[in-house]
Amino acid sequence: MSIRRLPETLVNRIAAGEVVERPASALKELVENALDAGARRIGVSLAGGGISGLSVTDDGIGIARDELPLALERHATSKLPDEHIEAVETLGFRGEALPSIASVATLAIESRQAGADGWSIRCDNGVLEAVQPCATPPGTRVRVDGLFARIPARRKFLRSERSEYAACLDIVRRLAMARPDVGFSLEHDGRRVLSLPPEQDREDRVAQLIDRELADNHVIVALEREGTMLTGVASLPTFHRGAADHQYLFVNGRPVRDKLLVGAVRGAYADFVARDRHPVLALFVDMPLGEVDVNVHPAKTEVRFRDPTFIRGMIVSGLRRALDQAGMRVVQQPDAASTALWQREFVPVEGETQAPIPPTFSPTFGGQAGWGRVREAQARFAGFEPAARAEAAEALPVASADHPLGVARGQVARTYIVAEAEDGLVIVDQHAAHERLVLERMRKALSNGAVARQTLLLPEVVELDEPACDRIEARVDELAELGLEVERFGPAAILVRAAPAMLGAGDIQGLVRDLGDDLAALGDAISLKGRLDLVAATMACHGSVRAGRVLSVPEMNALLREMEVTPHSGQCNHGRPTWIKLAHGDIEKLFGRH
Ligand code: ADP
Ligand code: MG
């Protein structure tokens, strides 16, 4: 076969394979174009998850009549300054997006420059039509209809309208977070989903997009090193979610995904947040253009840092510093001294300068980070704040062999139950234990039918983003079996009518929000019963016996008694012990009495 040049339409379609995978990727290109055009307000409208149609309207500089056909031509761009590809500051510059999209859909542009008339152009699956006059406000509107409608082989790879919509929402969120100075609105099937005014503060924008409660629960990150700036908003250690989906990274104003972020965040919060809990944050790195290559991937969501270790280090230090300044202690790494502490008096650690732990600081975890908890408890001792509470119970019961876990004598650091057993001192991690009990109770209840529910006096409304509501709605029956009676309440809220009785007066808001995250992590295929450990962990995390909660002596004893009769209660759902015992002999050794 002889070599021949590919026809333009075919070249565009091949490029479309890279640039346009789904409605969300087309949407990303269009919104980026609007930003590049200096828009102050951007309106996005979607139909059927963006599959049937999507449009992006901006009030930017517009496109001149003569340039409309050029905009749809491959490798035609207004953004490459003097062929210096390294110096590109705009989001686009390949001149590929519009012709690629237009080769696999119907694309229509209406545009008007200030002081000129409006013009429109259409391109139907690669076939360009003539420029027409049109009445339109200054700026540009680009409509894309019937993506892949003529290419069944590509269309069949699209997912449900719901998932395509979720991907579109994610794109708009990320870009809106990157540019709090620009107003954004998003409409899906005629319904307003987002409405963000221009000139917002970054904190407000991020909180409005991730979780409104973040507004009161964040620290500000700001660090500069060698010409690189790290800024952003990060949640307090006590505010976290069940998935790492709410961690956003931006490099030189572009939303990017990089595994580096997850690891660095984990490192920075290691002492504060359990391994299966994830802080919520948006971090912005601004660095010299030569230090980062944003041109790695055609869809440009990946970056290549010249020195990833440096960036990682900056994120860890920036976050730690911000958390420190918020009055949190960054506790030292575990070391041999932790255990040796048992053998010394508790004295304030030398050179201790941190402020006392504020009363709002309470450890919250999903049953992980046992050591973190021990260290936290130590920190409380070292930080002068007495955190132990011993309550004289009326008629103290006597420890007996019938009760191997003993009789509760008090609570330490609102986390550990201290009990006296016949043969020694027992320390129980109340949260880990409770998590385990919830799992075992659920197993038992399910084998007898369903988990008992407690109807709420007042149904509770939990506001969540739409994809999370969709996921919960799809599992209504399964959740009911697990004792949680919920129903959809408008587009972005869930109404909770009943909760599992075993949870007591728990935190319904947090529970439902985390279940939304859990379901995202599970995907559609796995049943909730199949991951009962996960559900139980999430439920226990928001139940009334969580870490950080003060328990009465009868409550503590009830927990101990239940543990004694529950199978596997000696280990938490993650395999760590839920209680430890110091035998009398061990205690004597500690005091040198042997
Ligand atoms: P690129 O963004 O890489 O230049 P595109 O195919 O996305 O390539 O767009 C081609 C050109 O069309 C751009 O360089 C720009 O000049 C023009 N253009 C596209 N969208 C807009 C818009 N919303 N406002 C003004 N000009 C636009
Ligand atoms: Mg572009």
Same domain, residue pair 13 and 138: yes
- Residue 52 falls inside a structural domain: yes
Gap between the Cα atoms of 542 and 536, Å rounded: 10
Do residues 9 and 103 touch, judged by C-beta distance below 8 A? Answer: yes
Q: Which of 72-86, 97-111, 125-139, 417-431 has the lowest mean pLDDT?
A: 72-86
> Nearest-CA neighbor of 580 among 257, 306, 249, 342?
342
pLDDT at residue 397, as a whole number: 60
pLDDT at residue 465, as a whole number: 92
Q: Which of 44, 66, 78, 110 to mutate to test the pocket of ligand 1 (most atoms within 8 A of CB)?
A: 78
Domain boundary among 196, 219, 253: 196
Same domain, residue pair 302 and 408: no
pLDDT at residue 387, as a whole number: 43
How far away, in angstroms, is 63 Cα from ligand 1 center?
A: 8
Same domain, residue pair 463 and 522: yes
- Does 169 score more than 90 pLDDT? yes
- Does 131 score more than 80 pLDDT? yes
How far away, in angstroms, is 299 Cα from ligand 1 center?
A: 15
Angle at 560 between CA 559 and CA 563, to 5 degrees: 85
Do residues 325 and 572 touch, judged by C-beta distance below 8 A? Answer: no
User: Which has more confidence, 288 or 47?
Assistant: 47
The secondary structure of the chain in percent helix, strand, coil, rounded to multiples of 5, reads 40, 25, 40
- Residue 350 falls inside a structural domain: no
- Residue 60 CB less than 6 A away from ligand 1: yes
User: Which has more confidence, 65 or 297?
Assistant: 65
Gap between the Cα atoms of 107 and 101, Å rounded: 7
State the average pLDDT over residues 15-41. Answer: 90
How far away, in angstroms, is 291 Cα from ligand 2 center?
A: 23
pLDDT at residue 198, as a whole number: 97
From the CA of 55, which ligand is nearest? Answer: 1
> Nearest-CA neighbor of 291 among 248, 251, 232, 247?
251
Beta strands at 493-500 and 453-463: parallel, antiparallel or unpaired: antiparallel
Model confidence at 328, in pLDDT bands (50, 70, 90)? very low
- Residue 534 CB less than 6 A away from ligand 1: no
Same domain, residue pair 548 and 405: yes
Which three-class secondary structure state does DSSP give residue 196?
A: strand
- Does 540 score more than 70 pLDDT? yes
User: For residue 318, which phi and psi values (nearest 5 degrees)?
Assistant: -60, -45
How far away, in angstroms, is 26 Cα from ligand 2 center?
A: 10
Q: Which of 29, 31, 36 to mutate to test the pocket of ligand 1 (most atoms within 8 A of CB)?
A: 36
Gap between the Cα atoms of 6 and 10, Å rounded: 6
Sequence-distant (6+) residues with CB within 8 A of 328 are 236, 237, 272, 357, 361
Same domain, residue pair 191 and 213: no
Burial (CB count within 10 angstroms: exposed 0-12, middle 13-18, buried 19+), residue 80 = middle
Same domain, residue pair 421 and 284: no
* Cβ-count burial 40-55 (b if 16+ within 10 Å, e if not): ebbbbbbbebbbbbbb
pLDDT at residue 118, as a whole number: 96
Alpha carbon separation from 362 to 185, 239, 347, 414 (Å, rounded):
38, 11, 22, 8
Q: Which of 59-73, 105-119, 366-380 has the lowest mean pLDDT?
A: 366-380
Q: Which of 31, 42, 68, 77 to mutate to test the pocket of ligand 1 (most atoms within 8 A of CB)?
A: 77
Model confidence at 92, in pLDDT bands (50, 70, 90)? low
Model confidence at 335, in pLDDT bands (50, 70, 90)? very low
How far away, in angstroms, is 34 Cα from ligand 2 center?
A: 8
Gap between the Cα atoms of 251 and 269, Å rounded: 21
pLDDT at residue 271, as a whole number: 67
Same domain, residue pair 410 and 466: yes
pLDDT at residue 196, as a whole number: 97
- Residue 587 falls inside a structural domain: yes
Q: Which of 61-75, 147-161, 285-299, 412-426 has the lowest mean pLDDT?
A: 285-299
- Residue 12 CB less than 6 A away from ligand 1: no
Gap between the Cα atoms of 344 and 35, Å rounded: 62
User: Which has more confidence, 480 or 371?
Assistant: 480
- Residue 343 falls inside a structural domain: no
From the CA of 93, which ligand is nearest? Answer: 1
Question: Per residue in 359-409, pLDDT tens?
Answer: 222 222 222 333 333 334 333 333 333 345 555 544 456 666 678 888 999
pLDDT at residue 213, as a whole number: 83
- Does 115 score more than 50 pLDDT? yes
pLDDT at residue 267, as a whole number: 86
- Segments forming the whole domain that contains residue 580: 400-594
Do residues 141 and 62 touch, judged by C-beta distance below 8 A? Answer: no
Model confidence at 57, in pLDDT bands (50, 70, 90)? very high
- Residue 483 falls inside a structural domain: yes
- Residue 61 CB less than 6 A away from ligand 1: yes
- Joined tokens for residue 118: 């409006």
State the average pLDDT over residues 443-469. Answer: 88
User: Which has more confidence, 78 or 387?
Assistant: 78
Q: What count of other Cβ atoms lies within 10 Å of the Cβ of residue 164?
A: 22
DSSP tag of 22:
S
- Residue 110 CB less than 6 A away from ligand 1: no
25, containing H or E segment: helix 23-36
Same domain, residue pair 183 and 258: no
Same domain, residue pair 57 and 30: yes
From the CA of 100, which ligand is nearest? Answer: 1
Burial (CB count within 10 angstroms: exposed 0-12, middle 13-18, buried 19+), residue 370 = middle
Q: The domain that contains 404 carries what CATH number?
A: 3.30.1540.20
How far away, in angstroms, is 263 Cα from ligand 1 center?
A: 36
From the CA of 142, which ligand is nearest? Answer: 1
For ligand 1, atom 20: residue with the closest CA: 33
- Residue 464 falls inside a structural domain: yes
Angle at 102 between CA 100 and CA 108, to 5 degrees: 140
- Residue 66 falls inside a structural domain: yes
Domain boundary among 271, 298, 325: 325
For ligand 1, atom 25: residue with the closest CA: 62
Domain boundary among 309, 325, 341: 325
> Nearest-CA neighbor of 299 among 542, 512, 29, 572?
29
Question: Per residue in 187-229, pLDDT tens?
Answer: 999 999 999 999 999 999 999 999 888 888 888 999 999 999 9
pLDDT over 70 percentage in the chain: 80
> Nearest-CA neighbor of 412 among 551, 583, 542, 506?
551
- Residue 43 CB less than 6 A away from ligand 1: no
Model confidence at 96, in pLDDT bands (50, 70, 90)? confident
Q: Which of 25, 33, 57 to mutate to test the pocket of ligand 1 (most atoms within 8 A of CB)?
A: 33
Question: Per residue in 541-566, pLDDT tens?
Answer: 777 666 667 888 888 999 999 888 88
Q: Identify the residue whose tokens are 């995907």.
A: 523
Q: Which of 269-283, 364-378, 503-517, 552-566 has the lowest mean pLDDT?
A: 364-378
How far away, in angstroms, is 70 Cα from ligand 2 center?
A: 13
Same domain, residue pair 555 and 577: yes
Beta strand spans in 287-400 (E)? 292-293, 304-305, 388-390
Q: What count of other Cβ atoms lies within 10 Å of the Cβ of residue 477?
A: 8
Same domain, residue pair 156 and 266: no
Model confidence at 297, in pLDDT bands (50, 70, 90)? low
Same domain, residue pair 526 and 576: yes
Gap between the Cα atoms of 560 and 580, Å rounded: 13
188, containing H or E segment: strand 183-188
Gap between the Cα atoms of 190 and 479, Å rounded: 30
Q: What count of other Cβ atoms lies within 10 Å of the Cβ of residue 525?
A: 6
Which three-class secondary structure state does DSSP give residue 4?
A: coil
pLDDT at residue 372, as a whole number: 37
How far away, in angstroms, is 41 Cα from ligand 1 center?
A: 17
Gyration radius of the chain's alpha carbons: 29
Question: Per residue in 226-264, pLDDT tens?
Answer: 999 999 999 887 778 888 889 999 998 889 888 888 889
Q: The domain that contains 288 carries what CATH number?
A: 3.30.230.10
pLDDT over 90 percentage in the chain: 41
- Residue 94 CB less than 6 A away from ligand 1: yes
Do residues 91 and 35 touch, judged by C-beta distance below 8 A? Answer: yes
From the CA of 79, which ligand is nearest? Answer: 1
Model confidence at 185, in pLDDT bands (50, 70, 90)? very high
DSSP code string of 497-540: EEEEGGG-S--HHHHHHHHHHHHHHHTTTS-TGGGHHHHHHHHH
pLDDT at residue 295, as a whole number: 62
Do residues 516 and 509 touch, judged by C-beta distance below 8 A? Answer: no
Question: Per residue in 305-327, pLDDT tens?
Answer: 889 999 999 999 999 888 877 65
How far away, in angstroms, is 78 Cα from ligand 1 center?
A: 7
Sequence-distant (6+) residues with CB within 8 A of 499 are 453, 454, 456, 483, 484, 485, 506, 508, 511
- Does 499 score more than 50 pLDDT? yes
- Residue 341 falls inside a structural domain: no
**Counted domains in the chain:** 3
CA dihedral 339, 344, 350, 355 (to 10 degrees): 70
Q: Which of 29, 58, 98, 182 to mutate to test the pocket of ligand 1 (most atoms within 8 A of CB)?
A: 98
DSSP tag of 73:
S
How far away, in angstroms, is 77 Cα from ligand 2 center?
A: 8
How far away, in angstroms, is 92 Cα from ligand 2 center?
A: 4
Q: Identify the residue whose tokens are 């936290």.
A: 376
Do residues 206 and 247 touch, judged by C-beta distance below 8 A? Answer: no
What length does the chain have? 594
Gap between the Cα atoms of 243 and 234, Å rounded: 15
How far away, in angstroms, is 90 Cα from ligand 2 center?
A: 9
- Residue 298 CB less than 6 A away from ligand 1: no
